[in-house]
Chains A and B, each alone.
Chain A
């Protein structure tokens, strides 16, 4: 009985030793040298490795169960937190298993692997040169047509791929940078296409409006503010632009093109949410703070006989941020 057990023990030790080849056995030897009890240390090391093995096994089994949990949770309807929890725990357990195996059961370095010479020998080089000249050079010398075909196909490849590449740059902007869909007489409509009448907004009200037929056009979007009940002159020459206190300004910030939709009624300012440019509404939306370089273009407004608001013309200057071809300041 005793001998059998001893034999098993020895087997286990050697097994562990095999598993932890390299550093672990090296450590064992070190400790023995220091004069501690040999069997004690061996026993300790054996237990340690067995415990670690159990940890690795448990982690991997746990990970397996967690991934099954992910599948089951997904199958029954996918509650987000359980999905995430199972996935996180599963990946963590799997990681722990891998790390434990890597740290304690894999042979530990340092390992040295000699690298072979990178450069080819002189003989190899000569052989290659000979082969190249013989096969390639002579082939093209003898079969000129093949060379021409080759060149043609390569050129075709270049030409064919130039088209999608150029196309990917998008359409030419044309006049769209300089003008919007506002035309003389365009009716002012809401985003749903409903025409705006002169008594639709109360004093202190705002509305995002578009030219009729182009509701939702991003370049034409205009913020309509009723700042008073009587006409307001924001600038010299704009005396007729604001019937019944209605002011229209391009909603596109002249700095980076964000929608300037934050109207502060008390201070009569428009605030751009992106970089905090502030425009003075009663002074023709001239920037009073922030990075915006120009005032928001003002839309000349008028009222027809039926009471609908109409544009007198397009914006007199390009809307939005500056661009290369822009000539006006």
Chain B
């Protein structure tokens, strides 16, 4: 019976809609539900990473690195860094001088996986670090033992951070380049601002203090330690776990992705429906014709 087929076809559209919206609902409920769990994971992750080197740094807001790590760091430096920065860290035509750049600089570049560099280019690309946290700190210990200077690794504690204040500061200082959703964007001359979706609180604080690459530097007199913690809290709690009212954020990259979905699914769906509404006319015409 062709009517049965027609019946099924007619009910297909609402069924599809119900299915789609249920899917979106499940996704968004899952995301919102796991929000609390994830933020707690983030904060425990921070306490672990700073806990490794907590000795003697209770008073100040910086992480101190035990000198006992220097020998291990020396070996790792020769293995991973010396081909460009030379054995003494003074740099060559391949890589810049590292002496006096400070602990935060070395920790940022190594812990974000930008160093060791995989290939030369306009921007050092962020990738999973090959080194463990202790190995990274060992390299930091070795490089800082070569010469004094530069900002230390900030100790970030998000327990009392103000996410709302962080948002204000982020919008004022960071959003112009990293965009308000933190997805990063193109700059001039093939350089780009990086995505903030995989940055840890410590890395955010380090980046603010050292201004890696094209990024401006935000010293303690521009943004104090509390303000840095607020920004780190906003990025890790909100930018990395956005509350997408529509269920899916589409990467937060603006009208291109959203317009694509609207045109493909929205307009495409409407076209299918209008084909269905109009299809009887055609059949009748052909039936009358023969």
Interface pair B188/A267, CB less than 8 Å apart? yes
Interface flags for A58-73 (1: CB within 8 Å of B; 0: not) read 0100100000000000
Interface pair A265/B217, CB less than 8 Å apart? yes
Identify which of B11, B222, B287 gathers the most chain A CB atoms within 10 Å of its CB.
B222
Interface pair A278/B188, CB less than 8 Å apart? yes
- CB-CB under 8 A from A262, the residues of chain B are 176-177, 187
**Residue A282 interfacial (CB < 8 Å):** no
Interface pair B21/A85, CB less than 8 Å apart? yes
Interface pair B247/A81, CB less than 8 Å apart? yes
Interface pair B21/A264, CB less than 8 Å apart? no
| Chain A interfacial residues counted at CB < 8 A | 52
CA distance A93 to B191 in the complex (A): 51
**Residue B120 interfacial (CB < 8 Å):** no
A residues contacting B by CB (< 8 A) are 23, 27, 47-48, 51-52, 55, 59, 62, 79-82, 84-86, 88-89, 92-93, 95-96, 99-100, 103, 191, 197, 199-208, 225, 259, 261-267, 269, 271, 273, 276, 278, 289
* Interface SS majority for chain B: helix
**Residue B94 interfacial (CB < 8 Å):** no
Interface pair B188/A89, CB less than 8 Å apart? no
Known: A80-B247, A96-B14. 11 other contacts (CB 8 A): A55-B11, A62-B14, A79-B25, A80-B245, A85-B24, A199-B221, A205-B218, A262-B176, A263-B216, A264-B214, A273-B185
A55 and B216 contact, Cβ closer than 8 Å, known pairs A47-B3, A84-B21, A85-B21: no
A208 and B217 contact, Cβ closer than 8 Å, known pairs A81-B24, A85-B18, A267-B188: no
Identify which of A84, A202, A206 gathers the most chain B CB atoms within 10 Å of its CB.
A202
- CB-CB under 8 A from B247, the residues of chain A are 80-81
Restricting to B201-245, which residues have a CB under 8 Å from any CB of A? 211, 213-219, 221-222, 245
**Closest chain B residue, CB of each to CB of A277:** B188
CA distance A80 to B246 in the complex (A): 7
CA distance A289 to B213 in the complex (A): 21
* Closest chain A CB from B236 CB (angstroms): 23
Interface pair A82/B21, CB less than 8 Å apart? yes
Interface pair A205/B215, CB less than 8 Å apart? no
**Residue B48 interfacial (CB < 8 Å):** no
Interface pair A191/B172, CB less than 8 Å apart? yes
- CB-CB under 8 A from A269, the residues of chain B are 188
CA distance A95 to B24 in the complex (A): 23
